[in-house]
Structure 1
Amino acid sequence: MSVVRLFVLGVVRLRGQAHGYAVHRELGTWRIDTWTRVRPGSIYHSLKQLTKEGKLRALGVEESAEGPGRELFSLTREGEAEFLERLEAALSSFDLEELGAGVAFMTALPRTRVLALLRSQHQRATAACEGLEKMLPMFPQRAEPPHTADLLTLWTGSVAAVARFTEGLIARLEAGEYTMAGE
């Protein structure tokens, strides 16, 4: 999944309309440079591509006292649909960058939907972790290839961390943290 598309669609959705610099600045306040591979150039490229695909609508140029005018964008119906589809996929992902993007925008969905997605993700993460742990004895340190046991340990730890995080987030959502869509 291209997480940058979720970020761009999500920020434009949050603001109602935005230009590229506003999207970049908003994401900068979230410090996404510390937890994603999203770079400023990919934001501007995504804006152009999403507009070309009909997911964003160009609204015209907003004048700026700080330099040249900036093109404003808003979400189309197709863009809203892609945003929601990517958001649900992100909340179902084991990938930390994708899951993080999903958590950043999860309030766009009803609480019951987010809880269902996270519970499903938690069950899959727990099952994957158990499956990886069962495989470990089959690959002693001197097995061929020699790095297999270490990789299984790395993957097990990574998936277990996602499962623990998800479990805690589910508990906070069940306790009423966050204001979700429709509340």
Structure 2
Amino acid sequence: MATLTTRALLLGVASIFEPANGYQLRRELLSWGVEDWAHIRPGSIYSMLATFTKQGLLERHDLREGERDVAVYTVTDAGKAELQALLREATVTVNAMDPSAFRVVLSLAPLISRADMLDALRERERRSSDTSAALLERIAFVARGLAPPHVSHSLELELRMVETERAWLAEYIGALESGALAFDGEGFEWSPPENDAGWQMVRESQHYREQLEG
């Protein structure tokens, strides 16, 4: 079963570039380095597309492209709702030892409204504080000789990672409260350089859109 991270990534990229074929989505995801930090196997992308289609999260359209048929995908209303739910879950779930799900949120932030992002970030901030308190209790437990002493080093590593993120999180929330960055519905002005490979995908998606609307 696809993890939260892989589900959010595929639905997110499909939302950005729809309509798109499987090869395009695979190519875009690999350009993000997802093999390394999200542990997505390239070959699994096609099977996930089929699964999401069966689940009603994506809609498949069979179009003619030159001498061959090509399957392109668009995100359904159910898929959009699922993506928002996944992004919120990834935001509020604190896992200092594996931040890959939260990295997906930061990568797909323009798909989230500012209000929803801030609400989820504040919940993450609260849960991070609880995590720090729990780790301190566990470190104190080890210090009383109630667990092997080397365990404290693992706990202290996790605590420092949580505390580092809490400091960063406070700055990030402050920036968003001040109007920094662009979120869903606010207009996204950034665009890649003219020679970026992503423009080819934009042109191909426009071609598919014209066929679907024609």
TM-score (norm 1): 0.86
Shift of 1:155: 2.4
The aligned residue for residue 144 of structure 1 is: 147
The letter for the 2-side match of 1:33 is E
The aligned residue for residue 41 of structure 1 is: 43
Correspondence list, 1:22-171, <5 A: 22-61=24-63, 63=65, 69-95=69-95, 96-140=99-143, 143-171=146-174
- Structure possessing the higher radius of gyration over alpha carbons: 2
For structure 1, the residue ranges without an aligned partner over 5 or more in a row are: none
Distance in 1 of aligned mates of 2:73 and 2:61: 6
Q: Structure 2 vs 1, CA of residues 139 and 61 (structure 1 numbering), >3 Å: closer, same or farther?
A: same
Comparing both chains, which one has the higher relative contact order based on Cα–Cα distances under 8 Å and sequence gaps of 6 or more?
2
Distance in 2 of aligned mates of 1:104 and 1:43: 18
Q: How many residues align?
A: 181
Distance in 1 of aligned mates of 2:85 and 2:62: 27
RMSD of aligned C-alpha atoms?
2.3
Q: SS of the residue aligned with 1:139?
A: helix
The aligned residue for residue 14 of structure 1 is: 16
For structure 2, the residue ranges without an aligned partner over 5 or more in a row are: 187-214
**Deviant stretches of 4+, over 6 Å:** none
Contact 1:64–1:70 at 8 Å: present in 2 too? no
Distance in 2 of aligned mates of 1:64 and 1:84: 36
